[in-house]
Amino acid sequence: MKPTSISAERLFEEHREALRWEWIAGHGHPERRFDEAAVRDAQSAADLVGYLNYIHPYRVQIVGRREVAYLSQEGADVQDRRISRIVTLEPPVLIVADDAVPPARLIAMCDRAEIPLFHTAESAGHVIDLVRGYLSQLFANRTTRHGVFMDILGLGVLLTGESGLGKSELGLELISRGHGLVADDAVDFFRIAQTAIEGRCPELLLNLLEVRGIGLLDIKAIFGETAVRRKMRLKLIV
């Protein structure tokens, strides 16, 4: 089933190693989540993550060096007003990137409003790309289809047909000729972009191909690492 939200704590833990970030404020609400309506209405992950913008509520707001400079300009009253406006956006998470020093007023505001505030030395652009890619896959529309999904000459090809028709036997023959297996029997498909569908193998069936009269084959163990693929974009259905 497609997830409709994710907690700040899970987002932090999933990227703790890759982004080497710290949770510096807003510890009081680790279960703070994305707004489900915002996730449902999002056309892409770009609607859920981006640089600090007062027009787009309910998304992860990224604060880089320029944004920190903007929040720190002018007098104390102006700074307070700019930072207070962030609360009205109801972001699930705020992320200070570029190794910028977050203003003390921003830290205090996040603690009061219980908005998780992460800090990382990684560039803001890199953080946006990584988190967008993660959310794009997490919230992608998905379905499971019966068939054998293969990498044939670099194309993701789904072999379909009734049970017992010989799809797995054909898949085995293709593998013996140097093509690759993605999934047999059940294939999970994800719409990762407006014009892109990605197929993956369920964890339980990873690297396995069941051939009538032979049984269950571990393709990776028999043919080696190059005979299996983790995922492929769907290009053709046969």
Share of the chain above pLDDT 70, in %: 99
Q: Lay out the sheet containing 94-96: strands in order across.
A: 22-25, 117-119, 94-96, 60-63, 49-51
Residue 86: its pLDDT value, please?
A: 92
Strands 60-63, 141-152: parallel, antiparallel or unpaired by DSSP?
unpaired
Same domain, 132 and 146: no
Q: Name the pLDDT band for 43 (thresholds 50, 70, 90).
A: confident
Residue 2: its pLDDT value, please?
A: 64
Q: Residue 171 is part of which domain span?
A: 141-237
Residue 162: its pLDDT value, please?
A: 86
The domain total for the chain is 2
Same domain, 58 and 152: no
Same domain, 109 and 186: no
- What digits encode the pLDDT tens for the residues 55-101? 889 999 999 999 999 999 888 999 999 999 998 999 999 999 999 99
**pLDDT of 114 higher than 90:** yes
**pLDDT of 126 higher than 70:** yes
Q: What is the mean pLDDT of the chain?
A: 91
Residue 62: its pLDDT value, please?
A: 95
Q: Is residue 3 part of a domain?
A: no
Residue 36: its pLDDT value, please?
A: 85
Q: Identify the CA nearest to 26 among candidates 90, 114, 102, 97.
A: 114
**pLDDT of 1 higher than 80:** no
Residue 233: its pLDDT value, please?
A: 94
Q: 217 - beta bridge partners? A: 209
Alpha-carbon gap, residue 212 to 164, rounded angstroms: 8
Alpha-carbon gap, residue 226 to 71, rounded angstroms: 51
**With the C-alpha atoms ordered 1, 10, 55, 125, is the resulting torsion angle positive or negative?**
negative
Largest CA distance in the chain: 79
Same domain, 156 and 132: no
Q: Is residue 1 part of a domain?
A: no
Same domain, 118 and 232: no
Same domain, 168 and 186: yes
Q: Name the pLDDT band for 163 (thresholds 50, 70, 90).
A: confident
Note the helical H segments in the chain.
8-14, 16-19, 36-41, 65-72, 76-88, 104-113, 124-138, 167-176, 219-223
Residue 168: its pLDDT value, please?
A: 92
Same domain, 123 and 160: no
Q: Name the pLDDT band for 148 (thresholds 50, 70, 90).
A: very high
pTM for this one?
0.72
- What digits encode the pLDDT tens for the residues 181-234? 999 999 999 888 778 899 999 999 999 999 988 899 999 999 999 999 999 999
